């Protein structure tokens, strides 16, 4: 198959779509990705990338076709809107000239914003190519969740816009099973929906010791509970700081915050103001470095805001954390917590409950090492059964072939 992926975010930005694209190439498919100049999450273009160049790159066999876009900035809502809109306009006006091949199928990587589907819809209409939307964020619910829009009139208009986008897609992949009902509320035919969870792969094992990494990061040894990912309000980072405050009387517990994002500086300042000397922001590291961090920590932490949409969402980190083989302490919605509970891979509490999160961390810190190891092994086994990279790419390949054959209405029977 000749597959065109449309994704505002792609390598060297760290998203699941990178591994899915590589996986399709390894199976002999011709894969191109129409994307922007990388600037996520820090909001500045990565070193070596300008407004226009480089236009073309190759990433492990994947053809990368770049579009000029505004960098998202660090905290400006206007810059973020310009970032979203510039990808749409570049995709519509320059996309047809950048994507010259005759593709068999278009796959839109549906992380926010949903507007990145518009270049795909234009190419679908212009080139008569089937379009698949991979739903990783639900709109307009995601907009409401981050308080980006409160006007009932505007939300009604956005809901109609989302429904119009869904109407012009041929098939839909969903990363969380509860998404199906939400899509059907928007008029999507159930038979065109297939479940495709976030993937990961068995992590390369690292023999780094906590003492060695502690010296490198300037973080004291102890019971390391690690947050690894985007530092943003949607991840409810204030809940982590609240938990850290409750844990101050346990000097052995250290909160190690790995990552970057729009609220990192604000959270660091808040931690300093509250005198939380048990919280360490160590910055962003490439995905290749994460096995070292996972090897050195004692538990991994997942948090999300307590809003209805996130009860349906499985945080992408859950799969990677299961593969890491460490206990997971989760204060997130039902969909993510259910996976961790089913796997018996950790402790789950209600989202945005800092005291409950602290109690769970204390509970895990006081467990025997053997019990924590059992939790970690449970996570690995559950991951290997449901979420390995090969399993997910196998599903993706099967679903795309169904669409290419002109049978998207049979997707529901393949799941």
Cα end-to-end span (Å), the chain = 21
Tell me what the mean pLDDT of segment 190-194 comes to: 94
79 phi, psi to nearest 5 deg: -60, -40
Eight-class DSSP state of 327: -
Query: Which residue, chain included where needed, has tokens 């993706």?
Result: 396
CA-to-CA dists, residue 390 to 44, 198, 349, 405, angstroms: 33, 12, 31, 23
How many CB atoms are located within 10 Å of the residue 181 CB? Answer: 10
Tell me what the mean pLDDT of segment 14-40 comes to: 95
pLDDT at 148: 57
pLDDT at 147: 56
Average pLDDT of the chain is: 91
Give the SS3 label for residue 54.
coil
pLDDT at 139: 79
Between CA 20 and CA 399 the distance in angstroms is 13
Eight-class DSSP state of 61: T
- What domains does the chain contain, in order, with CATH numbers? 2-199+388-414 (3.40.50.2000), 210-386 (3.40.50.2000)
202 pLDDT band (50/70/90 cuts)? low
Q: What is the pLDDT of residues 259-314, one digit of tens each?
A: 988 889 999 999 999 999 999 999 988 888 899 999 999 999 999 999 888 888 88
Both tokens assigned to 83? 């970032």
**Which residues touch 202 (CB under 8 Å, ≥6 apart)?**
323, 380, 383, 384, 388
pLDDT at 151: 57
Q: What is the pLDDT of residues 341-395, one digit of tens each?
A: 999 999 999 999 999 999 999 999 999 999 999 999 999 999 999 999 999 999 9
Q: Indicate if the alpha-carbon torsion angle 107, 110, 115, 116 is positive or negative.
A: negative
Name the nearest CA neighbour of 359 among 245, 227, 205.
245
pLDDT at 140: 73
> The whole model's pTM is what?
0.84
CA-to-CA dists, residue 328 to 150, 264, 284, angstroms: 34, 22, 20
pLDDT at 38: 95
Give the SS3 label for residue 383.
helix
Give the SS3 label for residue 363.
helix
How many CB atoms are located within 10 Å of the residue 62 CB? Answer: 22
In percent, the amount of the chain with pLDDT more than 90 equals 72
């Amino acid at each position: 198959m000749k597959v065109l992926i449309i994704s505002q975010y792609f390598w060297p930005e760290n998203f699941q779509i990178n591994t899915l694209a590589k996986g399709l190439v390894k199976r002999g498919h011709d894969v191109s990705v129409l994307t922007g100049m990388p600037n996520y999450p820090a909001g500045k273009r990565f070193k070596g990338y300008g407004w226009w160049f480089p236009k073309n790159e190759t990433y492990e066999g994947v053809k990368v076709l770049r579009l000029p876009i505004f960098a998202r900035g660090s905290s400006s809502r206007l810059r973020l809107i310009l970032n979203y809109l510039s990808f749409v306009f570049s995709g519509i006006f320059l996309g047809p000239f950048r994507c010259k091949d005759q593709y068999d199928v278009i796959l839109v990587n549906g992380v926010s914003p949903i507007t990145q589907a518009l270049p795909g819809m234009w190419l679908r209409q212009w080139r008569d190519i089937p379009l698949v939307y991979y739903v990783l964020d639900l709109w307009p619910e995601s907009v409401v969740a981050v308080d980006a829009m409160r006007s009932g009139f505007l939300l009604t208009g956005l809901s109609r816009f989302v429904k119009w986008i869904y109407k012009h897609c041929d098939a839909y992949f969903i990363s969380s099973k509860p998404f199906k009902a939400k899509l059907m509320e928007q008029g999507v035919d159930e038979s065109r929906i297939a479940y495709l969870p976030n993937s990961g792969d068995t992590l390369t094992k690292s023999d780094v010791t906590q003492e060695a990494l502690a010296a490198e990061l300037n973080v004291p040894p102890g019971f390391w509970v690690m947050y690894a990912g985007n530092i943003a309000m949607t991840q409810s980072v204030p809940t982590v700081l609240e938990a850290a405050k409750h844990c101050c009387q346990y000097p052995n517990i250290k909160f190690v915050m790995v990552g970057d994002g729009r609220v990192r500086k604000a959270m660091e300042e808040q931690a300093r103001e509250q005198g939380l000397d048990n919280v360490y922001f160590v910055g962003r590291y490439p995905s290749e470095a994460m096995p070292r961090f996972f090897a050195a920590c004692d538990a991994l932490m997942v948090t999300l805001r307590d809003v209805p949409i996130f009860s349906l969402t499985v945080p992408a980190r859950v799969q990677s954390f299961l593969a890491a083989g460490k206990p997971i302490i989760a204060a997130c919605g039902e969909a993510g917590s259910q996976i961790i509970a089913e796997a018996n891979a950790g402790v789950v509490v209600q989202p945005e409950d800092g005291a409950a999160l602290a109690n769970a961390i204390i509970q895990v810190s006081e467990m025997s090492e053997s019990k924590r190891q059992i939790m970690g092994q449970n996570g690995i086994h559950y991951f290997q059964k449901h979420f390995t990279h090969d399993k997910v790419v196998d599903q993706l390949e099967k679903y795309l072939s169904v669409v290419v054959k002109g049978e998207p209405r049979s997707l529901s029977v393949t799941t």
